[in-house]
Structure 1
């Protein structure tokens, strides 16, 4: 940690208190890793008292301060009828695993923090964008606005957040949680950052949605009224992803990311085009907080 210019730590979740030179602090795993020579104050939102996970018949609200450990534990602690009603919860643990981080990071790093860093490989961006998550944002002018997560991250390390704005929560609609899903991820190394991460889903009305992350600088979503054929999906990808949008860093060249995206997209399409396994539909429970113990420590790198 190298923040030599910071002189104050203020516990607040009120955007009215923000001023130039401030940074919102949640888990701080990225902020403390990268350091800064310009920040003057840290505004700590961890004491805001936001319930990590709140569910009702309409969907699931994930607080920005919900830790990765809390989110990971949620599906295992959920009642069987909820897992049956919301099969897309099966995405939660693979996306958390995409951090390839130690239990120490899992118990500090937050869902909101991961999204707000705007990293192409941010797995919480992948999860929430793929399920049509909507971010609730509080602004310094005592106003709020809602933005789809797929539009909140606009590039490598860039978001649509204005100075002083604070991400409060992400809402996942029940319609998306009821969808059938498929997950694919590739990295150049066993414990490396995601180079390609794709999530596909088929909704109850038959709509097919493919969300491409990690391979691209920002989330890219393709929507079809039904599962397309291979040629239709390939054409959709070529039209939606401009050559300049493929990400380029030590975790993968653009050409490799493009080739692997096309390959994994076809795997996702084929999986969701196949008949769905038989399952009983069960209604989700009434509104209630959702809490669970943190998972056991995992192997991995900090």
Structure 2
């Protein structure tokens, strides 16, 4: 879609004062999907040259905000980590065309902050941490589960940039389990639940996305009982935090979340296949 109110595109490599009507431009798959009448200038990140995925000596993994879904998928095919399959599972949760895969960015998916954002699911489940750059040069780090605060809401301040997301080595060494539900065969996620089992202390984390307005990550020092897991989800998700839109009613999303969380608990803690 043409954005006929935009009068300038600025290269992000050449800093300039931020002003009302500015927006960061990554892949543009959201910006150009609908009218943006409030925008006057786009600050283009496409030529920053940031390495899409960078392994660090401590075993952690830094994903640039400009990393596309296609680049992340290609990296994951050669990535030798226990949690590697989760990358492709979340990439496939887009159910998008190759054109979207080659343009949409990890950072854009987080910044849109939609409940069904699969890069939110991936990075929240692996205890990711966002690096944010403010216009005054201040940098801060925020966990992904705290970065997204609601449907379409995040903690970014005016002009603040999501630079990258870092996944810790310990999370990458975890066994994972993935469950996704949609009302349609090729529909948007209505519930997406991910489990991670730590090989060191056998702690279990259950991360809930798509069914809730914000990512919810529950951590248990040891795998809980079925009743304990259900109670923890009930306590963590308020009644008005179950998402409600055309892709699923709150009651259905809640039901599927409980069902998948229990499947994952049994799979990771007992090695049982779901019924």
Task: Specify if TM > 0.5.
Answer: yes
CA distance in 1: counterparts of 2:119 and 2:201, whole angstroms? 26
For normalisation by structure 2, the TM-score amounts to 0.96
Per-residue Cα deviation, 1:192-221 (whole angstroms, up to 9, x for no partner): 110000011111211111110000000011
Shift in alpha-carbon separation, 1:267–1:217, aligned structure 2, 3 A = same
Contact 1:182 1:271 in 2 (8 A): yes
Per-residue Cα deviation, 1:242-262 (whole angstroms, up to 9, x for no partner): 000000000000000000100
Contact 1:115 1:124 in 2 (8 A): yes
Question: Counterpart of 1:25?
Answer: 25
Match of 1:217 among 213, 218, 240: 213
Query: Are 2:114 and 1:114 equivalent residues in the alignment?
Result: no
For normalisation by structure 1, the TM-score amounts to 0.87
Question: Counterpart of 1:258?
Answer: 254
CA distance in 2: counterparts of 1:196 and 1:205, whole angstroms? 28
CA distance in 2: counterparts of 1:92 and 1:46, whole angstroms? 23
Report how far residue 14 of structure 1 moved: 6.7
Match of 2:223 among 212, 221, 227: 227
CA distance in 1: counterparts of 2:34 and 2:151, whole angstroms? 15
Shift in alpha-carbon separation, 1:252–1:14, aligned structure 2, 3 A = farther
Report how far residue 18 of structure 1 moved: 2.0
CA distance in 1: counterparts of 2:77 and 2:215, whole angstroms? 28
Report how far residue 76 of structure 1 moved: 1.5
Q: How does 1:159-174 map to 2 (within 5 A)?
A: 159-174=154-169
CA distance in 1: counterparts of 2:76 and 2:188, whole angstroms? 24
Question: Counterpart of 1:123?
Answer: 118
Query: Are 2:194 and 1:194 equivalent residues in the alignment?
Result: no
Tell which has more relative contact order, 1 or 2 (C-alpha 8 A, sep 6+).
1
**SS of match in other structure, 2:30:** helix
CA distance in 1: counterparts of 2:13 and 2:220, whole angstroms? 39
5+ long unaligned stretches in structure 2: none
Question: Counterpart of 1:51?
Answer: 51
Match of 1:95 among 82, 90, 94: 90
Question: Counterpart of 1:70?
Answer: 71
CA distance in 2: counterparts of 1:273 and 1:52, whole angstroms? 34
CA distance in 1: counterparts of 2:98 and 2:126, whole angstroms? 26
CA distance in 2: counterparts of 1:14 and 1:112, whole angstroms? 20
Report how far residue 234 of structure 1 moved: 0.5
CA distance in 2: counterparts of 1:152 and 1:34, whole angstroms? 24
Question: Counterpart of 1:243?
Answer: 239
5+ long unaligned stretches in structure 1: 277-302
After the TM superposition, which parts of structure 1 deviate over 4 Å for at least 4 consecutive aligned residues?
13-16
Report how far residue 275 of structure 1 moved: 4.7
Question: Counterpart of 2:4?
Answer: 4
Question: Counterpart of 1:286?
Answer: none
Q: How many residue pairs end up in the alignment?
A: 270
Report how far residue 77 of structure 1 moved: 2.6
**SS of match in other structure, 1:236:** helix
Question: Counterpart of 1:295?
Answer: none
